[in-house]
Amino acid sequence: MSEMPTTVQEAIEACRRELYAAVLSDTLDRYGLYDQSPRGGLRLLDVTKPLCGLARVGIYMPVYHDDEALDVYGEEIDLVDSLQPNEVPVLACHGLTHIAPWGELLSTRAQVLKAGGFVTDGSVRDARMIRAMGFPVVCSGTTPVDTKYRGKLALYDVPGRIGGVDIASGDLVFADEDGMVVVPAARILMIVGEALSKVRAETTVRNELAAGETLRDIFTRHRIL
């Protein structure tokens, strides 16, 4: 059995190796963090490519023109170029689902930098190419429409909200085919450690169920269901 993580990077590796969104959500509930799964239909672009990493939050705003002074792509280029391994750009678009702030080329740069994936409550484009790359993406859907003349990353590394969930740079984001959860930065080691204990105990429960024991007896003994 693997040891418990003592660093955030070890926690990320343990999440990828052993955890899933539901057990993280259950563990967050245990500590009174009841609203950590974004709503609004956010889903993995490819459910076979789970996403895990540390958020880098950006805030999008609508615009209606582009010129040298506005520099519509400027802040997003700077954010992507600054990514460290296992970081995940999280772009809060606040209903701008008609535009795609992310596509193949940004995915390529982020993948080279060993980013953990990409998240937005907006849309993405170049979906076929991103799937072929195997780069994890969570989004509300797809569209061919670029952000030029329509939207701009205004701020990054500031607090944001996505799908009704507060999120800040440094928070852990994890997504699989069930959905996405956000673990506050200050709670990462505690939540991941508790989730690992739970999922390892569930292996015992699964074996006992397979051996024919009743749900009632097992729940009474382990308090896990």
106 is in an annotated binding site: yes
Q: Which residues contact 27 (CB under 8 A, 6 or more apart)?
A: 191, 194, 195, 198
Phi, psi (deg, nearest 5) at residue 59: -115, 120
For tokens 């955890």, name the residue: 19
d(CA 98, CA 114) in angstroms, rounded, equals: 28
CB 120 within 8 A of CB 139: yes
HSE-CB for 126 with a 13 A CA cutoff: 17
| Cβ atoms within 10 Å of 123's Cβ, excluding its own | 21
Structure tokens at 10: 């070890």
The answer to the question of whether 125 is labelled as a binding residue is yes
Q: Judge whether 104 is annotated as a binding position.
A: yes
Q: Helix, strand, or coil here: 208?
A: helix
**Would you report the helix, strand and coil content of the chain in percent, each value rounded to 5?**
35, 25, 40
**Residues written for the chain:** 225
Q: Is 3 annotated as a binding residue?
A: no
List residues forming the annotated binding site for Mg(2+): 126
List residues forming the annotated binding site: 103-106, 125-126
List residues forming the annotated binding site for substrate: 103-106, 125
